[in-house]
Amino acid sequence: MRGRIAAVVLGGIAAAVLCAAGAAVAKEASLKRLMGDNFIGLQNILVGLITSSYGGVPDQVEIIYDHATELTKSVPDSAKADRDRFLTYAFSLQGHASDLKSIVELLIEHDKASGGRDLPTDQLREAAAAHYGGIVTTCVACHNRFRRRIVQ
């Protein structure tokens, strides 16, 4: 009887460990997907900022904002020991994304209103670039601090 109980208990522990490992793998895969979406989005945003073609930028920035929001809700295992710093990065990313989206939406309105003529919006374009730089800097700082290995 004790042997059966021990077998059931050990089986339960093994199942729990396997489920936890599976959840960790799924969480890691989800995080990798988000990072990949961000990387593609950052490239598209940069092209939009350089060419002053802002049409697709708000949607790309929204992906990054949503990712930052997700990060504030689910700290990865590699960052749990320094949770507060990780959350600082996540909230910084969220703030830069929100500001960049607002600025780009203003630029879209200004550019439409100008009918193709230049408007004095250089400060807005520079502010957009600064927030883009803030996003990139935040990503690099967070990855340098919490990424476990070099991405191949």
- pLDDT tens string 40-97: 889 999 999 999 899 999 999 999 999 999 999 989 888 999 999 999 999 999 999 9
pTM listed for this prediction = 0.73
Average confidence score pLDDT of the chain? 80
Q: Is there a domain that residue 72 lies in?
A: yes
For residue 87, being part of any structural domain is answered with yes
Task: Name the percent of the chain lying above pLDDT 70.
Answer: 68
Instruction: Tell me whether residue 62 is in a domain.
Output: yes
- Mean pLDDT, residues 114-122: 66
Res. 11: pLDDT tops 50: no
Is 9 a domain residue?
no
Residue in 98, 60, 135, 129 with CA at minimum distance from that of residue 121? 129
Q: Looking at 52-82, list the stretches that DSSP marks H as alpha helix, in order from N- to C-terminal side.
A: 57-73
In a domain, 13, yes or no: no
In a domain, 82, yes or no: yes
Quote the pLDDT of residue 16. 45
CATH number where 99 lies: 1.20.120
If you average pLDDT over residues 22-31, what whole number do you get?
A: 50
Q: How many domains does the chain have?
A: 1
Confidence of residue 23 (pLDDT cuts 50, 70, 90): very low
pLDDT at 99 over 90: yes
* 39 — pLDDT class (breaks 50, 70, 90): confident
- Choose between 58 and 123: higher pLDDT: 58
State both tokens at 29.
């895969």
Burial call 38-60: b when 16+ CB within 10 Å, e when fewer: beebbeebeebbeeeebeebbeb
20 occurs within a structural domain? no
* Structural domain contains residue 40: yes
The answer to whether residue 8 scores a pLDDT higher than 50 is no
Domain that holds residue 74: 28-146
In sign, the C-alpha dihedral spanning 62, 113, 43, 103 is negative
Please indicate whether residue 114 or residue 12 has the higher confidence score (pLDDT): 114
- CA 11/CA 37 separation, integer angstroms: 39
